[in-house]
Amino acid sequence: MPSHPLDPSSGRPRSAADSLSRRLMLQRSALSVGGIALSSSIASTIAGCVAAGAAAPIANSRAAPAAARARSGKLGKLQILQIGVGGSIAPADRSELSHHPDVEFAGLCDVDATALALASSEYPAAFTCVDYREAFVKHLDKFDAVLVCTPDHNHAVPMMTALRAGKHLYGQKPLVQQLEEVKAMRNAIAATPDLVTQVGNQRMGPHGRQDAVEILRSGVLGKAVAAYVWVDGPPNEGSYYFYYGGLKDPIQPPANINWPLWLGCAMDAPCREGLIGRTWRSSWDYGTGQLGDWCTHLLDILYYAYDLPSPMAVLSDTRYPSDFYHAQQVQSVLSYSVSGEKFAHSVYPVHYSDKGQFPSRASLGLPAGVFESTGTLAVCEGGVLYVTPGGDVEVWIDGKPVDWRQLPGVRPTAERNHWHAWVDRIMGRDAFVQTPLAYGASLAEAGLLCAKAARFPGQELRWDLNSLTFTNHPEATKTIVRRQYRPGFELPYGSA
C-alpha cells in the first residue's frame, strides 16, 4: 500500500483515556437528549469503560493476529455494532458484512424505531439502542468494531467515539461533514494507529478502477498535468437522494423518529419535509451536496495514484450560490502544491464539477465522442486516461485510443470484497484495505472545499488545513470551516 501524504504522527493529542475521562467528569450535571439522561454517574461509567478500551485497543492484525482474535467475541467471531441501520446504504453494508463467516452483529442503533425494529427482527440476539452513546455506556464489552451509516452531519462524532473506545471502524462516506472535522479525524487516526479502519468505497473492489490507479501510478502515460472530475446531477428539484426546493417547511417529526437524536451534534432546528430518509443530502446543515456525496468515489483514483497533499486553494463558481441548500451548477478548481517525478509542474489542478459538466474533448486532443455523465479524467504529458464510476477505462496516446492492457509496466490487479477485506485484516489475515480513514479524510476534505467554497462564488480561497483558515478570506474562515456542536455531542478529538 502506498504511503499517505498526511503525517499521522503530527498533532497527536494526549491519551484517549485521559482526555475523555477529563471531559466527561466535567459534565457533572445531567444531560438529557432524546430521552437519554447522562448523569454524572453514567458519565463516570462511560469514562471508565472507554479508558479501559483505549488503554488496550485491539492490536493491528498484521502485528498481532492472535491478540485480535482474542478480542473478537464469542466463538472467535468479530462482534459489530451498527450505528444507523436504515436508509439506503446501511442495509447493504450490513448484508455484505453478515455474509462473512467471521462476523456477528452484536448491536444495532438507530433513531428510527421502524428501521431499528426491522433490523432487529433479522438479528434478534443483538442489543438495540436509540442513542449510540448508550452502547458505549452499557455494552462496551459486547462489540469489537463499529459500522457507522448515519446522515453526513453525524458521521464524525460517533466514528471518533468508536476510535477512542478502541474499536475498529467502518465509516460511510464522506467521512466528515465539516472542514474542522478533517483535522480532528487526523488527530483520531494518529491516536489510534493499531485500529483497522475502512471508508465506504466499494467501487474500488472490482478490477476497473484499480486498473486506472495502476496505469497512472506506473508512469506509462508520463507526468501528471491536470485532472477533470464531474458528477451527474443533482436535479433541480426532487430525486431519490436530493430534494432542492422541498426542505424548508417545518413539520412535526414522524412518530417513529427521535428528532433530537436525529439532530445529534447539530443544534436545535425544526424537522422538515424530506430530511427524514435520504434527501438530507441537499441540505447545507446536514448533507454535503452532490460534490461531497461523490468525492470519495471519483477523486480516489487521483489520491491513490499520486498521494496528493492537502489542497492549497479552491475556486468554486456557480449560478446558484448556496444558502439553505448546497449549490448546484458548480465548477470548482482545487490547486495542489506538488513536487517530484510524478508531476509535470509544481501546481496540480483538479477540476471538479456537478451537473455532468465534462471538459471539451477537442481541447484535450481527443477524438469526437461523448463522456458519460459521471467520470474521472487524468491528463498526463504522454496520454489521457478516463474511467467511469463502474470501472470502464479508456486510454488515449497522441489522441488515439490504445489497449491499456498492453501498456508496459502496468501491474495486474486483484478483485477483492471491499467489506470482507476489512474483516479479514482485523482477524489477522493478510488483506488489503483500500480506503483507510487517512485517505477518507483527505477525499472528504477535497469534496468539502469545493462544496463549501460555493458560498463565495468566483472567489479563490487559499486554504491551510493546519490552522483551519482561509488565509486570504477571514469571512470564509468564520462561516464555512466549523459548526457549533450540541452539548454532549462534542468532537471526541479536537482540531487543535
Digit-coded pLDDT (tens) for 220-254: 999 999 999 999 988 877 677 888 877 888 999 99
Digit-coded pLDDT (tens) for 104-124: 999 999 999 999 999 999 999
Predicted pLDDT at 277 = 82
Examine residue 174 and say whether the peptide bond preceding it is cis (omega within 30 degrees of 0): yes
What is the spatial distance between Cα 356 and Cα 331, in angstroms, rounded to a whole number? 10
Predicted pLDDT at 213 = 98
CATH topology of domain 16-203+434-439: Rossmann fold (3.40.50)
- Is residue 49 predicted with pLDDT exceeding 50? no
Predicted pLDDT at 405 = 95
- Is residue 137 predicted with pLDDT exceeding 50? yes
Residue 196 makes CB contacts below 8 A (sequence gap 6+) with 60, 61, 168, 169, 422, 425, 426, 433, 436
Determine the average pLDDT of the residues in 405-427.
Answer: 95
When comparing pLDDT for 47 and 368, which is higher?
368
Predicted pLDDT at 496 = 84
| Domain layout of the chain by residue ranges | 16-203+434-439
Residue 8 — pLDDT band, cuts 50, 70, 90? very low
Predicted pLDDT at 73 = 59
pTM of the model: 0.88
Digit-coded pLDDT (tens) for 480-490: 999 999 999 99
Digit-coded pLDDT (tens) for 197-222: 999 999 999 999 999 999 999 999 99
Residue 74 — pLDDT band, cuts 50, 70, 90? low
